[in-house]
Structure 1
Amino acid sequence: MLMAVDDTNCTFTLIDVGDLGKNSNGAVFRHSSFGKLLKQGKCNVPNATGLPQDTNHELFPYYLICNEAFPLLPYFMWQFPEQVLNDGKIIFNFRLSRGGTNVECTFGMLTSKFHVFDGPIACNEDCTIAIIKGACVIHNFIHFL
């Protein structure tokens, strides 16, 4: 399974490869090196900064957009459940969803470039992990050309 963080340019900034696909995203995150380092505060996440055009100069933290499979932690943000929606929460969910489509586009670009991802990869686990990591690196390289 590939768990990844990307930036607004559809470039992978962090990947974690190797957990079994049958595990939930939350379980994969909990057991991953990335999850453990993030929880310990050792991932060099930038400090909170002001938002552009914010006249109040309030600090806004960096966060990752996730779904409900992930634990609700200070550095994760996910949508409000449908049962408690008012107009403000609907707008929030819509805008957060738009931010989350970026990683989906990045994965789409990766799979369209490398057709090895069209189906199961017929290799042992170590070879499969190497293929996924290599494809992510090459994706980033090609994307900057």
Structure 2
Amino acid sequence: MPSPYSRSLAVIDETRCIGCTLCIKACPFDAILGCSQKLHSVISAYCTGCNLCIAPCPVDCIKLVKNNHFPSERTAQFEHARKDFLLACKQRAEIKAIRTQQRHAYNKQLMDTKKKNLADQLQQLKKKSFDS
């Protein structure tokens, strides 16, 4: 898949390439693969469309083509909104988990207090019944 950050990509016409390696040396992103006297190819995932490989080519076999995978502004906005939504969902889930833990802790404390109060009342009733 081509780099999603570039509007254009370099493409080498493999029938005209002479394997001079000048494009490889010119590419600052190591997006061109090949060796001397052999066929060269662009790794589209690394190509930024910077245009630096075109000028050194002695046979003009490199062209820039439109990157069809470049996200439109609307797609970029959608992706940003989706990431925000997923982050909000994660945060909500974390908050819900914390609140659930707090509610369980509060309920346990409340039940323990009620048990203690009932035990105290029972103890007092037993004491009263023995005293009478």
Whether TM exceeds 0.5 here: the answer is: no
TM-score (norm. length: structure 1) = 0.21
Larger Rg: 2
More contact order relative to length (CA 8 Å, sep ≥ 6): 2
